[in-house]
Amino acid sequence: MKHFHRLLSGLLLCLLLAAAFPPAPAAALSDVPDGFWAENDIRRCVELGYIYPESNGSFGVGKELTRAEFLVILSRFFGWKAASPARLVYDDVSEEAWYAGVIESAYQQGVLTNQSHGFRPDDPITRSEAAYLLIRALGYGNIAGLIQDISLPFQDVRINTGYIAMAYGLGLMDGASVTTFNPDGRLTREQAAVLLMRLHEKTQAVNTGWSGILTSAQDIPDLSGCEAVAIAAFQLTYNGSPQLSPILSDTETTALRAAAKEAQVKQLLYVSGDDYHLRENAPEMAAVLLQAVRDGNYDGLFLDITGLTNNTQQKALSETARLLREGLTGGRLLYLTAEAPSWGGRVYGYDYAALGEAADRLVLRIDYPASTAGGIPTAPLQPLEEVYYALNRLRGLVDAGKITLLLDSTGSLWNSGVFQENIPGEEIAALLENAQSYYSSRYACAYLEDGGTVVWYLDGQSIQDRTRLARLFGGGRLCLTNLNGVLPELLAAMP
């Protein structure tokens, strides 16, 4: 009975609070004059219900937020369901406190971790603490830990370095000056409104879309909503001069192009090759590729050349890209792949700025090393930390709207110490009928265990997590390596 009364009291309190502080029309905010520096963000934030006005009809400009208030605001933005009835998580947070359920929910989700010093709910929240909570709420705590030694332009940052670096690098928080962040400065309500609306605008961005590669006439999926499909018809060869060798038969190519035409999807000629095929003969290479596009009457070219490691190859590909851009007239598209900058420090022979200038889409192939962690074989596909590293390195070099993440539609398998790549989607689907599946929040990648077999693969949640991170950088375009036999949930989750 005691618990029932506590629950009833909590519900009544929530109703009273909601009635006392309902979202009000932004125009009614008495302390937000026209032309105020945060006026638009405040009005939108109130309209969306992220921050409620004060009881007197003002917004509370200049008022410092407490740690509990900021966490409640984050809960509204992210849609967390407050735990009810709340249990004791921190000694200094009463179970009857109006924010107790939110704090417990945040703790359960890993946003809050340290219980040793209490939560200090009524303390004003600092800018450093706000960056910490924000990045953890986004699920990027592991990435922030990996970049904690990163160099920052701010001379006054000593703790929470990785979190501040992410909040600043993603354009969510500004520095106090060119060389200072003011980590101990207190966050005001209007500053929180600006932060939240920046995050809102980035995550709601429409600069997204998806494409994919078709390698077979078997198991062609529904291509509705796709920007373009690449028909894997040729590969590069070299016999004194660049040449193209067919991969698909004419019958297969015709079937694939018919499916793309029926779906009203752009058809690109996909040509693959590696460093061996790239010589110092850019004009010849470009001429061969352009002729193939014209002969097939394709809507563009998808050129995928891997393994570049030196300046000679870099210059050859950049010059080829420039000539292709000039030659693809009439609105024809140019997709170029490049191996993305890697956290492990691998150096690739790609001039990202030059390729990004020439291409309509710069498609990044992201490294994923295989290893063992905690006794579990790990080979997560395009792990989130590598996606972050690549996008952060290319920030300012390449138009974010052109950057496209190349994601594996196949899986990677460990069995008795043997590693195998390119496990087809239909094989993964068959294993999932009897295997236990899990989701690694660190890598943002799914995996299944079936006896001695471990398979890593991308699922719908993986797609959503990568899309959101790319959107925070101003992008959000994805490309699947093989559309044939792809898991249906991958296509359902594509932006």
Asked if residue 466 lies in contact with residue 199, where contact means CB atoms within 8 angstroms, the answer is no
The encoded tokens of residue 489 equal 């949930």
Cβ atoms within 10 A of the Cβ of 258, count?
13
Beta bridge partners of 228: 211, 266
Tell me which amino acid residue 329 is.
Answer: T
CB neighbour list of residue 357: distance below 8 Å, 6 or more residues apart: none
For residues 495 and 478, give the distance between their C-alpha atoms in angstroms, rounded to a whole number.
8
Q: How far is residue 439's CA from residue 446's CA, in Å, rounded to a whole number?
A: 4
Q: Are strands 242-246 and 228-238 parallel, antiparallel or unpaired?
A: antiparallel
User: In degrees rounded to 5, what are phi and psi of residue 252?
Assistant: -65, -45
Only one residue has tokens 């994923």, namely 368
Judge contact between 310 and 279, C-beta under 8 A.
no
* Rounded Cα distance, 273 and 236, in Å: 5
Per-residue pLDDT of the chain (495 residues; tens, 9 = 90+): 333 333 334 433 343 334 334 444 545 799 999 999 999 999 999 999 999 999 999 999 999 999 999 999 999 999 999 999 999 899 999 999 999 999 999 999 999 987 778 999 999 999 999 999 999 999 999 999 999 988 899 999 999 999 999 999 999 999 999 999 999 999 999 999 999 999 999 988 777 899 999 999 999 999 989 999 999 999 999 988 999 999 999 999 999 999 999 999 999 999 999 989 888 889 999 999 999 999 999 999 999 999 998 999 999 999 999 999 999 999 999 999 999 998 876 767 899 999 999 999 999 999 887 777 667 788 899 999 999 999 999 999 999 999 999 999 999 988 877 888 889 999 999 999 989 999 999 899 999 998 888 999 999 999 999 999 999 999 999 999 999 989 999 999 998
3-state secondary structure of 89: coil
Give the number of other Cβ atoms within 10 Å of residue 488's Cβ.
Answer: 12
Give the position of tokens 């992210």.
78
Strands 333-339 and 418-423: unpaired
Q: Which helix H or strand E contains 190, and what residues bound it?
A: helix 189-203
Quote helix, strand, coil % in the chain, to nearest 5: 40, 20, 40
Q: How far is CA 370 from CA 46, 385, 413, 435, in A?
A: 47, 14, 10, 21
Dist. CA 387–CA 385, nearest whole Å:
5
Q: What is the CA radius of gyration of the chain?
A: 26
The dihedral sign for the CA sequence 489, 427, 307, 303: negative
Contacts of 486 (CB under 8 A, 6+ apart): 212, 221, 409, 425, 480
